[in-house]
């Protein structure tokens, strides 16, 4: 009986040991499995965090690009609107001149005064002559008295425009009727009336050659040291070229607008013309700063900046990246369609 009891005890003990070993093995397997599961979850969460981070960064970049482009387009449109209104005023003058030529019988002769220096600073009407013109020539005088009827149009257009500095009609016969604020500038230091060679001015020559409205590049004013943009529109009488209606505007307001663009401390703005040159800029130095003989940005060695300038000059809008002096930037640009320029907004990356 004792042997049987001892055998049963040994069998029971062996079974207990086997069960314990099996439980230990299962525990080890479960531990390893759980470790792998936890590791997989951690890796999954890490990857999701990275993906989320990348998506957030991409979204931020898209927002910056979209905002910059919208702002550049708005500023370009705002700046261009003043040029568009300016051009329209000259077209109105040209239409008025053609009507006077066409319906001569409806107009009585109207004298046009010479510039009066005492009226300097006031909007005044005046006539100027080229050096070769003879004010006493009967044919010239008859035409001048006829076109004297355009004076009210010139006065009203200048008075009601903030951008127009001077507006005029210049005849091919050698006289020019003008409304501006600087009659004293029409005389030399000895009080002699200065001739004005309107037919040699770029706005006149450009409009005559093109046979259509013509906007000059930035040009020095004939009577001051200031620079501006001039517009010319050809005038025809009986199908023949008769002269050019024109106007000039200074660029102070455009420059102020560029300087006052608010896109943060790291932001800048500039405008380039149709030749790829910087006209206005908030950059103090480098290729994007204003200089007397500024480079054509399309010809720079920097392929990204030159390509961007080429796109802009081509009338396109967009957002690009470029680097200057080791700094990286986003740049959004949009066309100023009336003058053929481009407005740029630049933000440091």
Range of lowest pLDDT (36-40, 110-114, 265-269, 322-326): 36-40
Of residues 315 and 26, more confidently modeled: 315
With a cut of 90, say whether residue 34 has pLDDT above it: no
pLDDT score at 60 = 47
Neighbours of 131 (CB within 10 A): 9
176 and 290 in a common domain? no
pLDDT at 235 over 90: yes
What φ, ψ does residue 15 adopt, rounded to 5°? Answer: -65, -40
Q: What angle in degrees, to the nearest 10, is found between the helix axes of 252-259 and 2-102? A: 170
Residues 110 and 219 in one domain: yes
Residue 51 pLDDT > 50, yes or no? Answer: no
In a domain, 324, yes or no: yes
Report d(CA 290, CA 251) in Å as an integer.
Answer: 14
Q: Which of the four pLDDT bands, split at 50, 70 and 90, describes residue 326?
A: confident
Split at pLDDT 50, 70, 90, the class of 35 is: very low
Contact 338, 87 (CB under 8 A): yes
Q: Are residues 192 and 330 in the same domain?
A: no
Asked if 94 contacts 234 with a C-beta cutoff of 8 angstroms, the reply is: yes
Do 334 and 235 belong together in one domain? Answer: no
Q: What is the average pLDDT across 339-349?
A: 89
Residue 348 φ/ψ, nearest 5 degrees: -65, 140
My answer on whether 215 and 342 are in the same domain is no
- Identify whether residues 209 and 317 lie together within a single domain: no
**Higher pLDDT, residue 14 or 205:** 205
pLDDT band at 260, cuts 50/70/90?
confident
Q: Which of the listed residues 189, 218, 250 is the one where a domain comes to its end?
A: 250
Exposed/middle/buried for residue 337 (C-beta within 10 Å: 0-12, 13-18, 19+)? middle
Residue that is last in its domain, among 250, 280, 314? 250
On whether the CB atoms of residues 314 and 276 are closer than 8 A, the answer is no
Contact (CB, 8 A) for 256 and 243 = no
- Alpha-carbon distance 82 to 349, whole Å? 32
Q: According to the model, what pLDDT value does residue 14 have?
A: 53
Cα separation, 51 vs 60, in Å, equals 14
Among candidates 203, 181, 89, 96, which has minimal Cα distance to 146? 96
Q: Which domain holds residue 137?
A: 88-250
* DSSP codes, 223-273: SSS-EEEEEEEEEEETTEEEEEEEEEEESHHHHHHHHT--S-TTEEEEEE-
Chain mean position to CA 88? 19
Mean pLDDT of 250-255: 79
Query: What pLDDT does 330 receive?
Result: 87
Given a cut of 70, whether residue 54 has pLDDT beyond it is no
Residues 168 and 262 in one domain: no
Domain termination site, one of 250, 272, 303 = 250
**Residue 17 clears pLDDT 60, i.e. is over it:** no
> What is the pLDDT at residue 10?
52
Largest CA distance in the chain: 159
How does the average pLDDT of the chain come out, rounded? 83
Name residues whose C-beta falls within 8 Å of residue 275's C-beta, 6 or more positions apart in sequence.
217, 296, 313
How many CB atoms within 10 Å of residue 263?
19
301 shares its domain with 338: yes
Q: Cβ distance 294 to 277 under 8 Å?
A: yes
Contact assessment for residue 203 and residue 135, using Cβ atoms and an 8 Å cutoff: no
Give the domain CATH number at 237: 3.30.450.20
Minimum mean pLDDT among 22-26, 85-89, 126-130: which range?
Answer: 22-26
282 versus 199: which is more confidently predicted? 199
Alpha helices (runs of H) in the chain, residue ranges in sequence order:
2-102, 138-147, 151-159, 202-210, 252-259, 303-313
- Residue 136 shares a structural domain with residue 191: yes
Q: pLDDT by residue (tens digit) across 130-175? A: 999 999 999 999 999 999 999 999 999 999 998 899 999 999 999 9
Judge whether 194 and 187 are in contact, CB under 8 Å: yes
- Mind listing the pLDDT tens digit for each residue in 171-193? 999 999 999 999 999 999 999 99
Residue 51 domain flag: no
**Among the ranges given (123-132, 221-230, 314-323), the one the predictor scored with the smallest mean pLDDT:** 221-230
């Amino acid at each position: 009986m004792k042997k049987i009891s001892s055998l049963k005890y040994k069998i029971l003990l062996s079974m207990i040991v086997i069960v314990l070993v099996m439980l230990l093995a299962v525990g080890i397997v479960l531990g390893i499995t759980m470790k792998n599961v936890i590791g997989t979850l951690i890796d999954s969460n890490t990857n999701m965090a990275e993906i989320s981070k990348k998506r957030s960064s991409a979204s931020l970049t898209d927002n910056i690009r979209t905002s910059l482009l919208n702002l550049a387009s708005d500023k370009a449109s705002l700046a261009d609107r003043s040029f568009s209104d300016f051009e329209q005023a000259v077209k109105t003058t040209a239409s008025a001149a053609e009507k006077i030529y066409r319906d001569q019988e409806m107009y009585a002769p109207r004298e046009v005064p010479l510039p009066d220096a005492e009226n300097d600073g006031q909007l005044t009407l005046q006539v100027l002559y080229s050096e070769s013109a003879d004010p006493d020539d009967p044919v010239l005088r008859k035409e001048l008295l006829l076109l004297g009827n355009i004076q009210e149009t010139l006065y009203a257009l200048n008075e009601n425009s903030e951008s127009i500095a001077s507006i005029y009609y210049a005849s091919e016969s050698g006289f020019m009727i003008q409304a501006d604020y600087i009659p004293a500038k029409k005389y030399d230091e000895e009080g002699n009336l200065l001739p004005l060679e309107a037919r040699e001015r770029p706005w006149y020559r450009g409009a005559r050659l093109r046979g259509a409205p013509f906007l000059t590049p930035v040009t020095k004013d004939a009577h001051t040291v200031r620079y501006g943009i001039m517009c010319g529109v050809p005038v025809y009488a009986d199908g023949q070229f008769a002269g050019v209606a024109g106007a000039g505007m200074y660029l102070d307001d455009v420059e102020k607008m560029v300087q006052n663009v608010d896109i943060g401390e790291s932001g800048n703005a500039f405008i380039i013309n149709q030749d790829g040159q910087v006209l206005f800029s908030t950059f103090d130095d480098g290729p994007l700063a204003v200089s007397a003989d500024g480079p054509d940005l399309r010809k720079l060695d920097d392929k990204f900046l030159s390509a961007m300038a080429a796109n802009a000059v081509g009338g396109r809008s967009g957002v690009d990246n470029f680097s200057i002096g080791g700094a990286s930037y986003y740049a959004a640009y949009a066309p100023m369609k009336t003058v053929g320029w481009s407005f740029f907004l630049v933000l440091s990356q």
